[in-house]
Amino acid sequence: MALIENIQRENLNPIEEAEAYNYLNNRFKLTQRKIAKSVGKKRVTISNSLRLLTLPREIKESIRNGRLSAGHGRAILMMKTHNSMIGLWKKIIKGKMSVRAAEDWAKEKTLKKLELKKKVI
C-alpha cells in the first residue's frame, strides 16, 4: 500500500488527504477504522477529514490553496444549507475569523434557527 505511505509522508493539504482516504475507502473497501489504523490516526480524524469533501466546491478550493484551514471547513459544515455555508465562508475570508469564532458564529446561527422553529411549532 504505497498510497498509505505517501499519505503519511507527503505534505498533503487537507482536501488532498481527504481525497486519499476516500480513494482507499472506495477502491480497496477499507473502513474508516482500517484507514485510521493504517495511517496511525484516530477514526474520528478520518471521519472529519472525509466530511470536508461534502463542502461546496469553492470552499474546498479555499482549503486546498491554504486560504482556509480544515478547522474552518469543519465549522462551515455546522451550517445546514449551501447558502449558509457560502455565507459563513465569505464572512471568514473577509473578516479573517479564527476557527473558534467561526464555530461560535455557526453555533449561534444554528441555535437561533432551532429557537425559531420551536416558536413556530
Q: Which fold has domain 2-52?
A: Arc Repressor Mutant, subunit A (1.10.10)
Residue 120's pLDDT is 64
Residue 9's pLDDT is 78
| 47-60 average pLDDT score | 99
Domain boundaries, the chain: 2-52, 71-120
pLDDT tier at 121, thresholds 50, 70, 90: low
What is the percent of the chain where pLDDT is above 90?
A: 79
- Tell me how far the alpha carbon of residue 60 is from its chain's centroid: 8
Q: Is residue 57 pLDDT above 90, yes or no?
A: yes
pLDDT digit string, tens, across residues 79-116: 999 999 999 999 999 999 999 999 999 999 988 777 76
Q: Which of 97, 94, 43 is nearest to 75 (CA)?
A: 97
